[in-house]
Chain A
């Protein structure tokens, strides 16, 4: 990792923590008494829920567009290049879907978040087994997988509560920020065989 990449990762980690803090602050606020149209829906946790949706959508949309552009300029000429297009379409679609979910009950988006958490946790578990087979330090990935699936399970049992959704997202953001900081200060072992 170059110094610039390290700095970028650190800035990103700080932004993640700030965003998580904002979610947690807004999480307890009730804006339903405000004299604005639709304010009656802005009960506890709903504003932070909208905030999460917006950021989700922007990040996914950017990623989706990047993959689609990459497909049309480069990847459509490569073996397996369609995977890049599917990635792009999936991300863009998920972004637009997330946008449409703004006016849909919380349980939809909670299902979506829990699904992502389950997939992510499952990947962690697979990685742990892979590392175990190859004789590396597998325990960390295993714990990571179990915690992520545990979070997903907790979210799944509280499908209708934006407060829980905000909490889970804030935890995930803080966790990711910590991992980014650790990655910055840990020497990377990767294989490059040119």
Chain B
């Protein structure tokens, strides 16, 4: 998903859920910040590097792909952009390594989503809520890919088709991904860019949906392909439907958080709240373009009758830097609250993956402390 959904659509969802304009603005700022909070940026503002929620291309290029490096990448991408649907997925085939990677496949309505919303509820800050909405929305967009470099999970092949409705029939139009980073994508001509095939299992080219290009990030597209992990079975990804579900689920989650309720349930949506706007939303989602920001902004402004400020990293920077070296002021600032929520989210992912028997995201601090204590005791 891009800023059109994470920023403007999240704003719309927050207003529909009952938040004021100012609150909705804070929520969508944080939802969008998840795509900007890199180590490079954190270094610039002297923020905690452990709170990084994404990585720049330049960071990825120089990222290590040994065990520690892979765990670091997995912590970031699985926690914030590819939340695993089922860490205990029943899979009989494959080695333990394969199974662990398979269980990181992202999808909506998983147990970890409940925990993510739980963190937002516990922290009860608009920043934690915004971050949770980013994670929730991405579970719909990034379904079927994992937030760890893996050829056997994330690779795609030439069996990749756009399902395009023409004269009331669905046409299968083959998609051939180009690999030129400078090339512009054009939905009309079907010019899409994806990462290059790398036979190396842990190549960063095989991280997330890189091999499928930006397609999962476009709300208008429906596509069919044979994912690497599904043994030649073709799956269909219906983004207009999934994005609508993401929006309805965001409104539902936000409403509960607004009411300070702990009763978040997966697979529940606020269809009633969005019904008066459903037609308009469906129209925005179906428009064949790579950025729907203008239309979502217009809808948001119609809903709140207020102007939505464009996203700006500088606002966060200024607020954080104005706290100086006062730790309490830092933590009380909007970026400080965002960082706290981000660290909580990462800790939750590590703890849960470790509990499932996988060390792909690393070891949680608690278990490290426990191990150290056990060793000390033995001595």
Contact = CB atoms under 8 A, between A and B. Distances in A.
Given A74-B94, A74-B97, A190 B205 contact: yes
B19 interface: no
A34 interface: no
Interface in B122-143: none
Interface in A1-38: 1-2, 4
B181 interface: yes
Interface string B146-161: 0100011101010000
A141 interface: no
Given A191-B210, A194-B209, A1 B183 contact: no
Interface stretch (B3-11, B59-67, B266-274): B59-67
Contact of B155 (A4, A79, A135, A192): A79
A190 B98 CA distance: 26
A77 B61 contact: no
A51 to B, nearest CB: 28
A73 B94 CA distance: 7
Interface in B222-259: 226-232
B104 interface: no
Nearest to B57: A192
Interface string A154-194: 00000000000000000000000000000000001111111
B230 A79 contact: yes
Contact of B98 (A67, A77, A191, A193): A77
Given A74-B152, A77-B94, A194 B64 contact: no
Contacts of A73: 95, 97-98
B208 interface: yes
Contacts of B180: 131, 134-136
A79 B209 contact: no
B210 A189 contact: no
B199 interface: yes
Contacts of B205: 190-192
Contacts of B110: none
A87 B227 contact: no
B95 to A, nearest CB: 5
Given A73-B97, A74-B201, A80-B228, 7 more contacts: A67-B199, A74-B152, A77-B231, A78-B228, A190-B57, A193-B208, A193-B214
Contacts of B232: 79
Contacts of B147: 194
B195 interface: yes
Nearest to A193: B210
A129 interface: no
B63 A2 contact: yes
B181 A80 contact: no
A87 B151 contact: no
Contacts of A80: 155, 157, 228
B226 A194 contact: no
B199 A191 contact: no
A51 B208 CA distance: 43
A192 B152 contact: no
Contact of A191 (B63, B93, B179, B228): B179
Given A136-B180, A193-B209, A194-B208, A78 B196 contact: no
21 contacts: A1-B61, A74-B95, A74-B151, A75-B152, A78-B228, A78-B231, A79-B227, A79-B229, A80-B155, A135-B182, A189-B181, A190-B195, A190-B205, A191-B181, A192-B60, A192-B61, A193-B210, A194-B55, A194-B147, A194-B207, A194-B208
A24 to B, nearest CB: 32
A188 B226 CA distance: 30
Contacts of A2: 62-64
B190 interface: no
Contacts of B181: 189-191
A149 to B, nearest CB: 23
Contacts of B97: 73-74
B81 A78 contact: no
Contact of B64 (A4, A70, A75, A134): A4
B194 interface: yes
